[in-house]
Structure 1
Amino acid sequence: MNPVVALAPRFQRAGGRDSRVTTSLAVTAFAVTTGLTLSVVGGLLGFVARAHEPLAPGQNDVRSLYEILAWVAVVLLVVPLLTLGGSAARLGVARRDARLATLRLLGVTSREVVVLTLVETAWQGLVGAVLGILLYVALLPLVALLPFQGTTFSVGELWVGWQGLLVALVAVPLLAGLSGAFSLRRVAISPLGVARRTSPKGMGFVRLVVALVGIGLFMTVSVVGGALGAAAIGALVGAMAIGFAMLNVVGPWVLGLVGKAQLRRATTPARLLAARRLLDDPRAAWRVVGGLGLAGFVAGALAVVPSITSVDASQDPQGAMLQDDLVTGALVTLVVAFLLAAVSAGIAQAAAVLDRRREIALQNLAGMPVELLDSVRRRSVLVPLLFVAVGSAVTALVMFLPLLGTAAVSDPTGILLLLAFLAVGCALVFVATETSRPLLRSVLTDTVVRAD
């Protein structure tokens, strides 16, 4: 075995308690990602299986519509799930980069550093995938209780098969390894810069251009979809996935602009330090609030549901059933999206506290009170949280404007529901980030500042 690769277990243990906490957070994130992804895919397979069953006499065949809506739900949920999985591989990246940079300065090659990271993150992904499969199995009976098309699902309809489980066991560690290796580009290029804590290169305006192209693609497909014939639905769902994913591209750049605006208006020490922290690493801030941004997009996309569900059950029983199923599907999608956002925010915020352990400890030793540190931690989350939630929901409304017209804004019920969901989602995510408060206190109890 390569002697450097043999260092992987010792390298993991070298981080001490902080490394164990970070590893636990990463494994938890991978487990949630795997379990919920398998549940979402299982629901899609359930609708596909029902679409091939014999149709009852006297009923219109709307099963293809259910398939389309199921694909839309998959896109709206799988993108944030994959984002959480990618973020999990980068938990504790600052402290890991520092240790890897030291190895690089001692003569370890870039390839060996990459292999070390692949080993560390891939096994976290594998453990998380196994736990996620157990979570999926535990959720199967609960998901099967959801009523759609006049009946509940059977567990067999939601089962992804042994092939699906095998794909998860391969794909999750692969995603973990690739994400972890991608985060090492600073170490591989300039280990001395990492060791000296040199600020990373800023993000360019090109991120906004790329995001606008992705969003514009969906809006264009929405307008010309009729000319695409049978391929229109596939093109629309694909374009929506691209536009949705572009939020991850433009989100950190926008938060950087928010940090600059906050810095200019800062009038208190807490506001100044929070703005500096946001401006210093907007990508880390996005990892905390990005889940809510994606959930806010889902909420904005589903705000139109009340305006298109006005069927008289006595005149059209099948249409009334479809209306109820639309509402149920929208609520389930929103609940999962916001719970996912809360889990993502809580894990990322805890990892951020550990990544800044040395900085926080030095500030405390320099005389900064604990209350101020806690205020900075809270403020660095709250402002981006509100901005991202509203901005992502508005983005969704704009994207769907060519497809649905003014339906989402003409009915006040949809807007009121959107505001209510955003308020609940923001509160849920904020509470999740507050779980890192005891961790901050425990960091400050250690009076020895480690050099890592």
Structure 2
Amino acid sequence: MNLALTWRLLKGGGRRGMLGTWLTLGAVAVSTALLLFAVAANFAFQARADRGAWRNPVPASSGAVAIEGSRQDFVRDQAITVVDLAALGEAPDPPPGLPRFPRPGEAWLSPALAELAGRLPDAELAARFPRQAGVLGDEALVYPGELVAVVGHKPAELAASGGGDSIGDTAPVKVATLGGQASQEATQYQMLAVIASVLMVVPLLIFGGAAARLTVARRDQRLAALRLVGARPGQVVGMTVAEAVIVALAGALAGTVGYALAAPLLSRIEMQGGPWFAADVFPSPLVMAAVLVAVPLLVGLSAVVGLRRVVVSPLGVAKRETPPAMRFVRVLALLAVLAVIPLLSMNTGIAIIGVALALAFLGVNLVGPWVVGMIGRITARLARGPVRLLAGRRLVDDPRSAWRTVSGVALTGFVAGFLGLLSPAVLDGGTAGPPELRVTTSAGQAQQVSEQARERLREAGVTATVKPERNAVVTALDGAADAATVDRARTALAGLVPGRTPTTRADNQSTRQIFTDIRVGTNVVLAVSFLVAIASSGITAMSSVLDRRQTYGLLRLAGTPLEVLDRARRAETLIPLTVMGGGAILVGVFCALPFMSGATSGGASTVGAATLAGCVVVGFAGVIGAGALSRPLLRAVTADPAPRPD
């Protein structure tokens, strides 16, 4: 009975009533698609960490079956991961992506590396590796197009070699299994993914909850009328949940389909040096099913939370009485959360950081309506004309609805404040003078190795100055050396010292990649946040017009110019946005302070500050543009000469 009545009321809302339903469906669809993206990012980084774990050997306490080490080589300024393997006794199980364990004197190259080795002259790349025995499968690669080589050795060769010269190299060790463990770099990316997900998911959940309360005034009036004619509280709650869940389920399905269509494009976003396998950006069917269940439940719960006045005081709702003011305890809750933030650091557990940021987010959202109500009182008291007076009275009358219109951009201000000044400065990768290749040697071997280096370079036709140092040999190339010459020199010096790779100073700036990826991640999170914010602002602005169409119509009949109504509507959006947006940015900056010293290498970057300023401009422009889109709807609802309630 309740479901049938709900369906009749849903269909019988008229053309504008159905428009409100479509707005809710669209809001849920956007929330679901972006929620799937935020969740999928964590699983994608986990999949990468699992695929790359076999390259990070775990020393065996007993029962060793092989010797394994890894090092970084370089070609055309691209990193090559070289894994050296040697079997102890019978060949053990092969690593992922290989049909068998590599034999001494053979190499297995990734598809991209094999293609590059075939395209470049042998003296620049292929001569560094022994005979190619095959091509690695995708199971051995962190991302498509990765340059990886697996080289087989005799045990004595690896046992005599030391660790590589690049940051992240691991010295050959005896291992009991080739399973390995996640690298420190992979763990860092997973932590950053969790932080980014919190910065995206919390606004999405708030937006999804707000979607359940779109056209809330129209629905409250309708349900209050049902209560006054005898409907029981349980029936009112049941109809509300049914309506919200039906619309939310349709929106969640639409959002899931939208994400599936967008996933191939998302897989092209480069992180950790390359794009993603298509399977990485698709959550498992179980996760997708959980999202499809959780989103309608959240929307239904949010709809029920807003029913307290309808159930307890339906007459007050019908008479449009102003609800009681909110309490200052909301501000105290936010201050309590912020008091904990300075205790955090990069060494704090990832779960604790995620929870703290989520609570700060929710605290800003909790304080928002209280601040909007205060802004309304001040605006109405200081008004010197009808525009400010109407805007102020509207903010006082329904601060929650007014907050929903600006909450998306205000919460994005929190994200921009947290990420903008946290963005790392661009590293100076340039090095003065001609390129230099450095090979570390054992103590007392530098002179002998330098003679061998001169001979190899002479045979390769490379003009260079070789000079021994205490524990290294430094090769300074001619100042006019191009990338091909540098690669010929690398190839000539490869294997000069077992386990050592010729490197330049630029090769060892491994933090450049993670800082570049932080910048990319910042842009992605901000893009997602602004998409949510602007969509939220536009949808709630149109919903607000539908909710108050009777009030707008009566004001027009009383002689209020349409321009005054439109300006008042803009004022009731931009005034709280200025205050709450600025406050949210400051809260975001405050929350970023404990992490700034470690992540920005000495402070906030100019680019980060420019990003923050750009976010402010885009946020205001987005809200103004979203409000402009609802202007034709305002004109249409005020054109009715006899406005009536639903």
Q: Shorter-chain-normalised TM-score: which range?
A: over 0.9
TM-score computed with the length of structure 2 as normaliser: 0.66
- For 1:315 and 1:164, how far apart are their aligned partners in 2? 39
8 Å Cα contact 1:47/1:67 also seen in 2: yes
Alignment-mate amino acid for residue 104 of structure 1: R
**Of 87, 92, 106, the match for 2:210:** 87
Among 235, 238, 246, the residue aligned to 2:355: 238
Distance 1:260 1:292 in 2: 22
> 2:567 aligns to what?
375
Separation of aligned partners in 2, 1:101 and 1:211? 34
Query: Residue 124 of structure 1: which of 247, 264, 277 is its match?
Result: 247
**1: distance between equivalents of 2:572 and 2:5?**
36
* Amino acid across the alignment from 2:568: V
Cα distance in 2, alignment partners of residues 311 and 164 from structure 1: 42
1:264 to partner: Cα distance: 2.3
Query: Percent identity of the aligned residues?
Result: 40
Q: Distance in 2 between matches of 1:296 and 1:259?
A: 21
8 Å CA contact 1:305, 1:327 repeated in 2:
no
Query: Secondary structure of 1:450's partner?
Result: coil
Correspondence for 2:406 among 289, 313, 319? 289
Aligned to 1:279: 396
Tell me how far 1:162 sits from its aligned partner.
1.2
Q: Tell me which structure has the larger Cα radius of gyration.
A: 2
Spell out the pairing of 1:283-362 with structure 2 (5 A cutoff): 283-307=400-424, 309-310=426-427, 312=429, 314-362=506-554
Structure 1 CA distance for aligned equivalents of residues 514 and 591 of structure 2: 24
- Asked if 1:28 corresponds to 2:26, the answer is yes
Deviations 1:122-175 (A, max 9, x none): 001100011011111011011101001111011101111211221122111111
Q: Which residue of 2 aligns with 1:16?
A: 14
User: Would you say 1:44 and 2:42 are equivalent positions?
Assistant: yes
Quote the offset at 1:5 in angstroms. Answer: 3.6
- In the alignment, the residues of structure 2 paired with residue 295 and residue 409 of structure 1 have an alpha-carbon distance, to the nearest angstrom, of 22
Equivalent residue for 1:6? 4
Count of aligned pairs: 444
Structure 1 residues 362-389: Cα deviation after superposition (integer angstroms, max 9, x where no partner):
1111111111111111111111222222
In 1, the alpha carbon distance for the partners of 2:616 and 2:19 equals 30
Inter-CA distance 182–276: structure 2 relative to 1 (3 Å threshold): same
TM-score, normalised to structure 1's length? 0.94
Aligned residue among 274, 294, 299 for 1:151: 274
Q: Match of 1:352, as an amino acid?
A: S
The gaps in structure 2 that reach 5 residues or longer are 56-69, 73-167, 169-182, 431-505
Offset at residue 284 of structure 1 (A): 0.7
Q: Which of the pair is proportionally richer in strand?
A: 2
CA distance change for structure 1 residues 239 and 309 in 2, over 3 Å: closer, same or farther? farther
- Residue 305 of structure 1: how far off its partner (Å): 3.5
The answer to whether the 8 Å contact 1:389/1:426 transfers is no
Aligned to 2:296: 173
CA shift in 2, pair 1:246/1:340, >3 Å: same
Aligned-residue offset at 1:50: 0.7
Deviation of 1:236 (Å): 1.5
Secondary structure of the corresponding residue to residue 446 of structure 1: coil
Report if the CA contact (8 A) 2:425-2:605 is conserved. Answer: no
SS in structure 2 of the partner of residue 157 of structure 1: helix
2:76 corresponding residue in structure 1: none
Give deviations 1:263-305, integer Å, cap 9, x for gaps.
2221111011111111211111110100011111110111234
Paired residues for 1:195-274 under 5 Å: 195-222=318-345, 232-274=349-391
Of the structure 1 ranges 191-200 and 439-448, higher mean CA displacement relative to structure 2 is found in 439-448
Other structure's SS at 2:325 match:
coil
| Contiguous gaps of at least 5 residues in structure 1 | none
Alignment-derived partner of residue 51 in structure 2: 53
Shift of the 211–305 alpha-carbon distance from structure 1 to 2, 3 Å rule, reads: closer
1:308 shift after superposition: 5.2
- Check whether the contact 1:301–1:397 (CA below 8 A) recurs between aligned residues: yes
Report the residue type matching 2:230 in the other structure.
Answer: G
Q: Residues 292 and 388 of structure 1 are in contact (CA less than 8 Å); yes or no, is this contact kept in structure 2?
A: no
**1:39 and 1:139 in contact (8 A); partners too:** no
Give the partner amino acid of 2:400.
R
Separation (CA, whole Å) in 1 of partners of 2:19 and 2:595: 46
Q: Aligned equivalents of 1:449 and 1:261: distance in 2? A: 31
Given that residues 311 and 319 in structure 1 are in contact (C-alpha distance below 8 angstroms), is that contact kept between their aligned partners in structure 2?
Answer: no
Query: In the alignment, is residue 389 of structure 1 matched against residue 581 of structure 2?
Result: yes
Moved more, 304-313 or 76-85: 304-313
Matched, 1:68 2:191: yes
Check whether the contact 1:140–1:155 (CA below 8 A) recurs between aligned residues: yes
> Aligned AA for 2:523?
L
Q: 1:425 aligns with which of 595, 619, 627?
A: 619
The 2-side partners of 1:423 and 1:247 are apart by: 21
Report SS of the residue matched to 1:302: helix
Conserved? CA contact 1:215–1:242, under 8 Å: no
